[in-house]
Structure 1
Amino acid sequence: MLLPSFSLLAGALLAQVSVAQAQCGSGTPDARVTGSGSSFTATRGSTTVYSGSDYRAAIQAAVDSISSGQRVAVMASGSIGANTITIGSGKTFEGCGTINVGNKAGRGAIESLNTADVKIPYLTMTGNPYFGLRFYGTRNLSLGKITMNLSGGLGIRFDRDAAANSNVSMDVISVTGAGSHAVETWNIDGLNINQVIARNVGESGLLLQATRNAWVGLVDGNNVGAGTGYATFRMANNNGQLANGNYNTNVYIDKVISRGGGRGIFCVSRSGAVVIKEVDLANNGNNAILIENCYNVSIRGGTVNGGGEVRLAARSEFPNNKDIWITLSVSGTSVRESPCGENTNWTLSGSGTRNIC
């Protein structure tokens, strides 16, 4: 549930996601890709815009044949190889078949760059991309039910050194097998995510960076970031810091679940401005929770069972932790604050040992 100041934004973003409630390819899409094996056809209405053996070319021809406000449904399954599909402003792309992808260095298998009002209500992707989906400079981007069963690569990426994004919504993002992050954001103002489900992912489940005015319903990770410093849910690089430099609360996370892997929750490098309502963390291989040089962080309830310690720490190159509120039941692991932060507030239960200020 968003706070009142977010109500208009939330309504707009959730309305974008609502297109994902229909059936993929239902009704009369403006363009369709059909076929299998080495024979694919792209049609726009009754006009054939591609016929041949190249699955990627068929998809791109269908996408290019429609105009803003129109919809393409890729009904066929196939492989695009180490190539990229590009989606322009105002277009709706439904991936109803399974799109297998390869690795094109620095690029996304599917990209939408410097665009407005793009919708991807459905997508099923397999393979080993550099980035599965890549974005920057987007406005009113809507991602619906995105399933990525990968053998490496990074799932969804918003670029760091490129134009910023505004009003991004996602429904349910499910990523397995990524070698890097399931979802990585940079430079978003206005982000709404229902769920990120990450399984057997090499780095983070959801990594938010330089992102503000965000709400996330659930981050659920199992075996995420094993052997690394990453986490099921990670905030870094001034995440939550507002344009005026302050850290008034503007990032809201309903629940984080994490099992095994590396860290459960990690806030680092001048991030914060966050309320996490509930956590359910167990047997994380690294810190269950690490808060390091963060400001205005509130964890309001939940449990930590076993795994690495709950830790407040600080590096010397950034200001120390400030305005931290932690309400938790911690058992089977320790709680440690070192160095002491400024205005740290603990409400702890459970059997875990404590070394706090």
Structure 2
Amino acid sequence: MSDEVKRGLEGVVVFESRLSYIDGDAGELGYRGYAIEDFAREASYEEVLSLLWNGEWPTRAEHDEFAARLAAERDLDPAVYDLIEALAAQDENPMAALRTVVSALSASDPDADADPADRETNLAKGCRITAKFPTALAAFARLRNGFDPVEPREDLGHAANFLYMLNGEEPDEVAAETFDTALVLHADHGLNASTFAAMVTTSTMSDLHSGVTSAIGTLAGSLHGGANQNVMRMLKEIDESDADPGDWIESAVEEGRRIPGFGHRVYNVRDPRAGILETYSERLGEESGDPRWYDYSVAIEEYMTEEKGLAPNVDFYSASMYYQMGIPMDLYTPIFALSRVGGWIAHMLEQYEDNRLIRPRAHYVGDRGREFVPLDER
């Protein structure tokens, strides 16, 4: 066995997967063999969940049945609403609140104690977790602002229902379509840190609730989630400065500031998801008659690409897109989780199918042969 250390597991292949493929040099991403560009604008998040969890696109009948099943699981147990109210009253961080709530969902799950390797039971639990995610997040967001939660509606799609519960009014077609596409694009992305955390948990034969809770805790870290919040803070800083965005970004780079939303651990070229989200950011600006956030973003990308050779990642245009939809900035990462939970569950299902405990080794570099001295002689 080699003792070579790969910091951050850089370049280490530890699993085989049929879920998503990434080519960082070509800028390609696909789910189950389908290129993201071919379906992101057409397929709903519910369809993508079916693809990831079952391996194939659903028929119309299968889609309708699955969407209805998902919608029927949206409401929360009264005890969970009480927990969310308590967390909101304490002004808990949204990601920490989401982590706590998802862990608590197992208490009211009828299959909580089922065999963790049973696929049908896991699909049922995965459906419940995914369905209740948006309800919990929207309820928390409203309660902390002094508003009552909005009950979920079964006649709205997954994306539209979340916006309805968050804002208290049904979203227009553009907003619903935009948010649905964002969920599709964030649903899975290979063996990222949060997905790996979920799989490590699963490999111990723990349950889905534990795996998703592990994943949320991992996504909460600033090196994984949260970049789009920093992008939006940057755009607002430009707006408040009244400076030309090109001049502002040039000065910021010269000052040594780190520009969020650029570069990626995997992609060496433009993130394929960024191009799709860019069109929605532009569309939202046109619809509202206020294109400045999109215009600022374009100016920044042009400078960073031409002067620094850096391309935007998925977070860059999602920032202005979410902001134009009226979504609070500190909900951007929880929304990432709201989408990625579908991918986390898909990878855990795959792990259960051919499980082996994930147990890497560390190369010891400390002292050896030190002499123990009893307490009274120290």
Which interval holds the TM-score relative to the shorter structure?
under 0.3
Higher share in strand: 1
Higher share in helix: 2
TM-score normalized by structure 1?
0.27
